[in-house]
Structure 1
Amino acid sequence: MQFFAAAIVGLTLIFCLGAIFGKDDHDVCDAALEKLTSIGEQSFPVGLQEEYRKVIDAHASGEYKTCVNLANKTLEHLKRG
C-alpha cells in the first residue's frame, strides 16, 4: 500500500514539474514568435518565409521546444542577412 501511495505522489510530482517547465517553453515560444511577427513575413527572404511558417506550425501544434529552436534559428538567419 505504501508503494502505491509513493507511486501516485511520484507521478503527481512528475506531472506538475512537466507542466511548470512546459509553461516556460510556451512563454519563450510566444516571445520568439512575437519578435518574428513584428519583423513581418513580407520582409523575409524566400527561404526564411518557409522557416517562419514552420515556427507558426510548431506553435499551433503545441510543440513549444521545436517552436523555440526554429524561431531562434530563423532570427539568427535574419541577423546574418
Structure 2
Amino acid sequence: LVNLIFAFTIAFQIPIIVIFLVKLKIINISKIKKARPYLYVFSFILAAILTPPDVLSQIFLALPMILLFELGLILSKLVTK
C-alpha cells in the first residue's frame, strides 16, 4: 500500500515536472512530443516496478501517468505562449 501511495504521489508531480522543464528551456515541447511513445512505455514499466504484481493495478497507475503527462504538455504550451 505504501508503494502504491508513493507511486501515485510521483504520478501527480508529472505535469509540474514537464512545465518546469519546458519553462527553464531544458527541453522543448517538440522533443517531448517525439519521445511520447517511449514515455508511454516508460510509464508502464515504472508502473510495473512500483505496483504489486497485478495487471490491473499497473494499468490503473500507468494510465493516470500518461494522462497527467499529456496535461503537462497542454499546460506547458499555455505557459510558453
Greater fraction of residues in helix:
1
Both structures adopt the same fold (TM-score exceeding 0.5): no
> Normalization by structure 1: what TM-score?
0.31
> Normalization by structure 2: what TM-score?
0.31
Q: Which of structures 1 and 2 has the larger relative contact order (alpha carbons within 8 angstroms, sep 6+)?
A: 2
